[in-house]
Structures are given as structure tokens and as C-alpha cells.
Chains A and B, each alone.
Chain A
Amino acid sequence: DAKTTQPNSMESNEEEPVHLPCNHSTISGTDYIHWYRQLPSQGPEYVIHGLTSNVNNRMASLAIAEDRKSSTLILHRATLRDAAVYYCILRFSAAGNKLTFGGGTRVLVKP
């Protein structure tokens, strides 16, 4: 299975943007890039996903490098509620229905 690499932790100030990097140098052409986050004492929740093009939704933006070996999740204005562990995951289209979590980045938002 292709792996992802993320920084262990990041800090941000409230109302400032947060850029969360993810390296996935062994990604294959049919692997989708998914991001989930897990708030304290809750199950993970879906944030965003993409294949090749940049994606935007109400929660975040996903910027995917042209060679697809890395991606960045962008939270445009961090709030205290965005403090969570953010997981970058490759979802394998050929591997059945597997979503395998990597180590994740713990985001701390300071008021």
C-alpha cells in the first residue's frame, strides 16, 4: 500500500490560514487523496478528497501537486473548533474498500 507522510503537529493562530502538507511519493495513478479529521473524543469526519485537480468545499481546499507526489490541505481561516488530528489518506481504487489511515498531523489553534 502506498504510504503518506505528514508532520506530527502544527500550530496556528485563530483566523489565520493553515497549510497542512502531505507527501505521498509512491502514489499510483488510480489512488485518490482523501483527508479526514478527528476532533477530540469523536470519530473521524470527512474533509475533502481529490484525484488530480485542486478541490474546494465549504470546509477546506485541497491543492494537489502536478506530479501528485504531494498535496496540501488548506484551512482558510482557522477557528478553535478546527483543532484536531488531520489525516491524509490514499484510497486505492483497486484494493476494495480500504481506507488506511497514516500518522496524521495534530493541529493546535491558538486564540
Chain B
Amino acid sequence: DTEVTQTPKHLVMGMTNKKSLKCEQHMGHRAMYWYKQKAKKPPELMFVYSYEKLSINESVPSRFSPECPNSSLLNLHLHALQPEDSALYLCASSQKPQFGGTGELFFGEGSRLTVL
């Protein structure tokens, strides 16, 4: 199983709603990531979890709250979002948090979020 599964594939929410995006992998990977991608732009790193602990937060607004309950699961909790937060949210995982130049990232297909 070399898949990263993201749910839901599409989400529409109002600015006062609270919702969550979910990401799951069963490859035994110990690093997981959230990226945000606007239309026709490259993915932008948001968060990195290493061994279930938050290791990188790229100054993301607090209305995005990540959570890693176990080594297979990564959530992104959304609250009081703005219309400009509408984007494709990509989850990825890699085998090892520590670097060596290897550590291929496996990406999911993304959750497309629309904030009204």
C-alpha cells in the first residue's frame, strides 16, 4: 500500500463553520506534511510532523490547527476561515523525518476547499 488517502475530496464551508480535513497513510512513515496550493501556483508548505510531533510551522494563521493523533493519521482543523483560504490542501508523508537527501514524499490527491 503506497497510498496517502485524503478525505473529503471536496469541502464547502462558511466563514463561521468548523470543519476538518483528514489524511491517512499505512506505509509506516514517520513524517507527515500539510501543503496548500492555490490555482496555477506551486504547493506551499504549511506544517511538518516528525514522529507525531509538530516540527515545522511555516507561520500559518491559527485558524488552521494541525493534529497528529498517531503515526498513520494527520488532521487539519479549520475554523473561521476566510474566502482567500480557498485552495487545494495536500497531505504528504515520508519514511524518515531526518534528512539524508532521500525521503521521497508521497502525496495524496488533495482536498479542495471552498470558503464562502
Residues of A within 8 A of B (CB): 32, 36, 41-46, 49, 51, 85, 87, 91-94, 96-104
Interface residue stretch chosen among B12-20, B60-68, B103-111: B103-111
The A contact surface, by secondary structure, is loop
Interface membership of chain B positions 39-65, coded 1 if the CB is closer than 8 angstroms to chain A and 0 otherwise: 000111100101000011000000000
In the bound complex, CA of A97 to CA of B45 (Å): 10
| Pair A98/B108 contact, Cβ less than 8 Å | no
| Pair A96/B45 contact, Cβ less than 8 Å | no
In the bound complex, CA of A93 to CA of B98 (Å): 8
In the bound complex, CA of A87 to CA of B41 (Å): 11
| Pair A97/B92 contact, Cβ less than 8 Å | no
Across-interface contacts of B69 in A (CB, < 8 A): none
Report the minimal beta-carbon distance from B100 to chain A, rounded to whole angstroms: 7
Across-interface contacts of B106 in A (CB, < 8 A): 46
Partner of B101, one of A51, A96, A98: A51
| Pair B45/A93 contact, Cβ less than 8 Å | no
In the bound complex, CA of A46 to CA of B90 (Å): 14
Report the minimal beta-carbon distance from B15 to chain A, rounded to whole angstroms: 27
30 residue pairs of the A-B complex, CB under 8 angstroms, read: A41-B109, A43-B4, A43-B90, A43-B92, A43-B107, A43-B108, A43-B109, A44-B92, A45-B107, A46-B104, A46-B105, A49-B102, A49-B104, A51-B101, A85-B42, A87-B42, A91-B101, A93-B99, A96-B50, A96-B55, A96-B99, A97-B50, A97-B56, A97-B94, A98-B45, A99-B45, A99-B105, A101-B42, A101-B44, A104-B42
